[in-house]
Each structure stands twice: as C-alpha cells, then as structure tokens.
Amino acid sequence: MSRVELQPCWVLHRRAWRESSLLVEVLTPSWGRLGLVARGARGARSPWRGLLEPFIPLQASWTRRGEMGTLSALEPIGDSVRLGGRALWCGLYVNELLMRLTGRDDPAPELFTLYGRLMLALTDPAGLAVALRRFELALLDLMGVMPDLAHEADGNRVVIAEGLYHVDPERGPRAVSRPGPDVFGGDLLLALAHDRIEDAEVAARSRALTRLLLDRQLGGKPLHARSLFSAPAANRTVQNDGDLSE
C-alpha cells in the first residue's frame, strides 16, 4: 500500500457511490488524473461535505492499493473559484475534456499549472474566449498532437497571411484556392502558431479550428457539455455536484 500526503488537486468529476460515499476524479501535478474513493463524504457529519466540488483548490492525502485510492485527508488551499453563466459552462467543458483526453497516473505538472491559470482567467467575463482557446491549444500541444500551423503539411513552405488553407488535424495546413469546410485564413493560423490570441475577435475566429483539432482526439464522440450549452437556456440547470443537466 502506498500513502501520499497533502497533494494539491482540483476535482474534475464526482459521482455518488454506495449509501454515503463518492467516487472522485481529481487532477494532480505528480499523478495527473487520479481516481479516489471518498468514504462517507456525503454524510451529514463528514468534514469533507461540500468540499469535493469542482473549482475549489484543494490538497488531499490518500492511501492506495490498486487502481483507485482512498481519500484520507482533505482541505481547501484557497478560495472557491466562483463561476456562473457561460464561465461555468466553460469550466465544466474543460473538466469533461480532461476526463476524456487524459489518462490516469500520467504526471502532469504543466497541465496542472495551466488548469489553475485557466480557473483564474474564467473569473473575467470579458476574457472567456481567449482563455479557453489558449487552454485548448496548450492542451493539444502537451498531448503532442498539435500540428504545425506555421508551415504547410509538406514542411517546405511557410504559411502566408494572405493565403487560404485546408487544415488536416494530423498533417496540418495545405494551401487551397477557395473557401470551404475546414479552410482557414493564413493570418489566423499564424496568430495561433505564435500565440497571438490577445482579443476576442481572434479567439472567436479560431473556435472552429480548435474544435476540429479536438474532435479528432475525441474520436467523433460528442461532449456532453457542448450539447447542453446549445440547448435552450430554459432547459438547462446546474446541479449541486457541478454537472449541467437538462
């Protein structure tokens, strides 16, 4: 049995287990995504009640024998990140993205740092699109699947700002003569390649491109958060466990 003491973490997902416990997926710097059993966490007298929620910076201790760990200590290490409206959807979307695209027990110090920065950025309503695009692109880069947007797919020609390019999610841009599906301006590709996403206009234009790249990694399986956000606002509610539901 291994024992880990006071590891910083964020809750990505949680669900009820048995009568009063929770199964929790957390993001940590040294273990990456990790599954934990929080025994009795839903009980009225549990010191962890209300803590195992998304968007609260935590530190946790656990013991482990096998695939899942067992939570042994938990405490907050900062204020809860208060998200509402579109910012809340962005946070839930990112959590689902990490649940789908990351494996357990893969150390992720850079991703953990990026996630913490994103949480702070989501508290600024004016900067949501920019923060989200930067996170998506950084995630793809950390996964090693981000194509080179500054050069054509053959690697011999640089992308020019005035050109049009069809982007293959695996091979990269290829010059074309007219607009069409998955075709983007060279100015946008260069802006993303050189991290020039300073304003909402560039972030909005790049949304279709980051979605194209992420969808390839998702294997065509839709994200629950996307479908819920596209539903009529009157049909969306936020549950206590931080999940959106119809």
pLDDT digits (tens, 9 = 90+) for 68-116: 999 999 999 999 999 999 999 999 999 999 999 999 999 999 999 999 9
The amino acid occupying position 59 is Q
Residue 238 reports pLDDT greater than 50: no
pTM (2 d.p.): 0.89
Q: Which of 76, 98, 130 is the last residue of a domain?
A: 76
List the CATH number of the domain containing 62.
2.40.50.140
Q: What would you measure as the largest C-alpha separation in the chain, in angstroms?
A: 66
Average the pLDDT over 27-47 and give the result: 96
How many residues comprise the chain?
246
Query: Which tens digit of pLDDT belongs to each residue from 178-223?
Result: 999 999 999 999 999 999 998 889 999 999 999 999 999 999 888 9
Q: How confident is the model at residue 229 (pLDDT cuts 50, 70, 90)?
A: low
Degrees, nearest 5: CA angle 191-196-199:
110
Spatial neighbors of 57 by CB under 8 A, at least 6 apart, are 8, 10, 76, 77, 78, 79, 81, 116, 119
Query: CB under 8 Å to 69, separation ≥6 — which residues?
Result: 4, 34, 35, 36, 37, 62, 63
Structural domain of 226: 85-238
* Residue 173 and residue 107 share a domain: yes
Residues 102 and 214 in one domain: yes
- Structural domain count of the chain: 2
Q: What is the pLDDT of residues 103-139, one digit of tens each?
A: 999 999 999 999 999 999 999 999 999 999 999 999 9
* 235 close to 246: Cβ distance less than 8 angstroms: yes
Q: Which amino acid is at 148?
A: D
